[in-house]
Chain A
């Protein structure tokens, strides 16, 4: 009798342990060799996010996510990253070092408290941050992720990129920290140190972004002919190390929340206030009419477009101080425009919004033209060198309309769009997973490989405070 019970129990245990066996995914490297992977690029490749380079951001960087998947198709060893020492990280406002941004509460000039990006540690000592950043990790190298925040294509080839002797603002401390000889090392030469069999190259964003994010004031757009020469030189260097790799192009600037968040018409006016302002601008309008120009500044009840500086205005000599006008729909205002100044200091109504916060239609056209030209070059060079190609611009254009993956809703809106982090330019972990899959798709397509995709829902989005 007893054996009968044991038998029944054994059968039950057997049945419970029988799990459905689903066909396994069969990864394959196709005709590529992923033994050693090097990631070359700017802040996006470095894993910069929330306005700073910090440790978990680097871990969540798309290049690292890609590398973890490449381990399943033959990558050997660790994907080495020059990690920052902590999770507050270091970013810059101008030349002033700050921690990363998080979502938090701040109170505006009207006394209203609201949720928005605030510094993770507003009281952080700048000299400590700078010391954290400059502390060399070069002895932990060579590194597989040699992405350096802020670099343009030319910086990859520039000896002394990490040379502190050039003085603040003239060298890149993110390279200094992992260069063996900061004074002389050339960034692209770091690639050779890991004997790469595969590379990724995503560069060129800063060749226009610096111009775009400073409202077309600071920095300049890299001349397309120069860009072409530099980009080709970089690819030639990389393809001399290995013939297999992937390159990505540059998304349009209207895809980034840094430039698509602040509305052109954020000024609420009552009928009487609008009337007062119209009286104030009477002379401006009369003068423009006398000059035979179409510029008019007009106010009405409801939401009104801001008054902005525009150095490209077509006015005769001697009228430079009148180079301001009302912004047009489609012109872009940066995320960094001081909201308090608009709310309480009459910016946008009485005082024109300074040029550095606005991309006018003239400036947008320049940026768009540069990106179109760069992307044509990137695509051509990818084809000429038989490399995989990620059309990031097309992917983000699609994301503007909204894309859903694994129940995660992606779009290019600030905070709620899940792609872009609190700085409005760089990626969230979920955004990095989204981008990693774009790279995987492109590589699989080109090399007939089967790199498993990452699951985007496994990665965090922007965190809200309790």
Chain B
């Protein structure tokens, strides 16, 4: 039991990711897919299908597959006041989303697998004294998904797979309060939720493959988090002391992904995917303090996200028998609302380019390397409840490295 605990701790440390586009979703869940425009739904090239399309898992060759890897997100957010020359830049820690997939082919009909991966997360650190400090100073959200999965291969034409998802993670938020200098509040807590992942894979011909995957929304419930007010002593009686508890709920939205891949010839493969992310479930962020519906500290913060559709293109070329190179492009629209854009989640309409390669030095091992660059278009944004406006621009550089083992 203890060992499991340490394992989870390790995952938690490693699993922090940065926001760089598309709300707080992080789709860097396989270094083969990362280089391929993050397309995975119509592919059956490894245990990563547990995330991208459980239906394709039973079409993965080999008895045993193990995929492990991580990405290293270096991101920056720039801010400038709308009618002034004030500028700020976030100083984000390195984000490290990771994945660990293992699959086992029980028979030609059935494959099973289990995975740990981090499809949502955010870590954004502004200067403690920056202009938006009353909205956010720094935030870190993390969610680790554990997903046992079963996949059925029907006549080598259809694949159907389903996985149960247990998600756990936490949040840590600091923001300044406008009561005396350097007053602030810290919110910190652990959250969990459950959901599922179901996918359908259709191998129309040896060359043409389709995939559909639905990953359900997961409501991360955070109960009894710790609130610590860092305020002058004279204000403590007014707030009922420095220490409080809070409850909140953050939705990790559902996804419906459609993908098609086509093997042009021995060497060249093209793919297209369209991902529907159901962000409109994220209406507001509510905090209830001290389990008291009437607490004056309670707040309801509108977010009013909208659904997004992300189109992706991928191209893969087999350069040598043991070396494959890839490229990809996608357009990642922001799910944020024009009126409720907060600097805690700086998600802008973004163009992204990916590169990748897989080198197989040994028959049972692939080395997967990927590189992704996403550039958020400079945009004028406002959070109306705080009347906080500005120009934002983002970039992220994401090298990734992974290993795949197949036996």
Contacts and interface: CB of A to CB of B under 8 A. Distances in A.
Interface of A: 12, 15-16, 18-25, 27, 72, 103, 105, 115, 403-409, 418, 430, 452-455, 457-458, 460-466
A86 B231 CA distance: 27
B133 A466 contact: no
A21 B178 contact: no
Contacts of A430: 178
A458 B131 CA distance: 6
A72 B77 CA distance: 25
Contacts of B399: 12, 15
Interface in B205-247: 231-235
A406 B134 CA distance: 7
B134 A407 contact: yes
Contacts of A466: 232-234
Contacts of B392: 22
Interface string B368-393: 00000001101000000111100111
Contact of A20 (B181, B235, B376): B376
B318 interface: no
B132 interface: yes
A19 B85 contact: no
B391 A23 contact: yes
B131 A103 contact: no
Given A407-B135, A407-B388, A455-B131, A20 B84 contact: no
Interface of B: 74, 76-81, 83-87, 89, 129, 131-135, 178-181, 231-235, 375-376, 378, 385-388, 391-395, 397, 399
Main secondary structure of the interface of A (DSSP, over half): loop
A19 B395 contact: yes
Nearest to B235: A464
Nearest to A18: B395
B397 A465 contact: no
Given A404-B387, A407-B178, A457 B134 contact: yes
Nearest first, the 10 A-B pairs at minimum CB distance are: A407-B134, A452-B84, A15-B397, A25-B85, A20-B393, A407-B386, A464-B232, A452-B85, A20-B78, A453-B84
Given A404-B386, A453-B83, A460-B180, 6 more contacts: A20-B375, A452-B81, A452-B86, A453-B84, A455-B86, A462-B180
Nearest to B86: A455
Nearest to A19: B76
A22 B391 contact: yes
23 contacts: A12-B399, A20-B393, A20-B394, A21-B393, A22-B78, A22-B80, A22-B378, A22-B391, A115-B234, A405-B387, A406-B134, A407-B132, A407-B133, A407-B386, A407-B388, A408-B178, A430-B178, A452-B81, A455-B131, A457-B133, A457-B134, A458-B131, A461-B179
Contacts of A72: 85
Nearest to B387: A404
A339 to B, nearest CB: 19
Nearest to B393: A20
Contacts of B232: 463-466
Contacts of A27: 85
A458 B134 CA distance: 10
Nearest to A15: B397
Contacts of B395: 18-20
